[in-house]
Amino acid sequence: MKKAISSAVIRRLPKYLRYLTALHEQGEERISSQKLSVITGFTASQIRQDLNHFGGFGQQGYGYNVQSLREQIIHIIGLDRPHRVAIAGAGHLGVALANADIFNENRFHLEALFDIRPECIGKQIAGAEVYSVSEMETVLREKQIEILTITTPRDVAQELADRAVEAGVRGIWNYAQTDLHLPHGIVLENVYLNESLFTLVYYMGNWKDYKGFEE
């Protein structure tokens, strides 16, 4: 079987996509790994290696076609397919994510939110209804939700994840500050905001260790 592509490569794809989209909007037709290197800060060699994991998208002597490479990366990530999403927890963070550009661009469709607080239930947020958590499995199944975003307090996150998986959800986007355990075949992506803030604070106290983009 083909060797798995390392997650370091995967996590660079969104960045390539972002810059290619910008270049496309600026009307650029072609780009070399050398020029992309200057823009992204990755080495030209790394860029060529990364892209070659997925196929030979370039042409010797020419470089890469911006628009076609952009479409390839959209396809590789899976952004050319629709994704049905729900959010558990209609608090500040849940509402912020519901209204974020992420779910409006890129073929993501926010289908439902869930909360336990009676005063939230029935409201419309970013075009989606807030349902009671007690109805979660039913709604997830009916609307064929693929991805559940968890923004609840950490003590209920595991239970909600388990129930969502039971109801057919295949990806969990977890903002609750806890490590979830999920069955084989279910994908988990954590966003631990405090880990990011703590890293910032560490480097503020030890900035000689910090290697950032400088100018």
Size of the site for its own copies (CB under 8 A): 71
Whole-number Å distance between alpha carbons of 30 and 59:
10
Residue ranges in 95-154 that form contacts with its own copies under rule CB under 8 A: 95-97, 99-102, 106, 108, 146-147
Question: Quick one: what does residue 102 bind among DNA, its own copies, none, with the CB cut-off 5 to 8 Å set by partner type?
Answer: its own copies
Query: Are β-strands 171-174 and 187-190 bridged in parallel, bridged antiparallel, or unpaired?
Result: parallel
Check binding of 90 to its own copies (CB under 8 A): no
* Chain centre to alpha carbon of residue 68: 22
Q: Given the complex with its own copies, which of 61 and 212 has the nearer CB atom?
A: 212
**Please, which of residues 16-35 interact with DNA by CB under 7 A?**
32-34
Which burial class, exposed, middle or buried, applies to 186 when counting CB atoms under 10 A from its CB (0-12, 13-18, 19+)? middle
**Closest listed residue to residue 186, CA positions, set 201, 205, 167:** 167
Is residue 171 near its own copies by the rule CB under 8 A? yes
Q: Which stretch binds DNA (CB under 7 A): 52-60, 130-138, 143-151, 195-203?
A: 52-60
The minimum distance between CB 139 and its own copies, in angstroms, equals: 20
Residue 151's Cα: distance from chain center in Å?
Answer: 15
CA distance 43 to 34: 8
* 208: partner contacted, choices its own copies, DNA, none (Cβ within 5-8 A by kind): its own copies
Site for its own copies in 40-79 (CB under 8 A): 76-79
Element (H or E) spanning 198, and its range? helix 193-205
Site for DNA contains 42 (CB under 7 A): yes
Specify which residues 85 forms β-bridges with.
110, 147
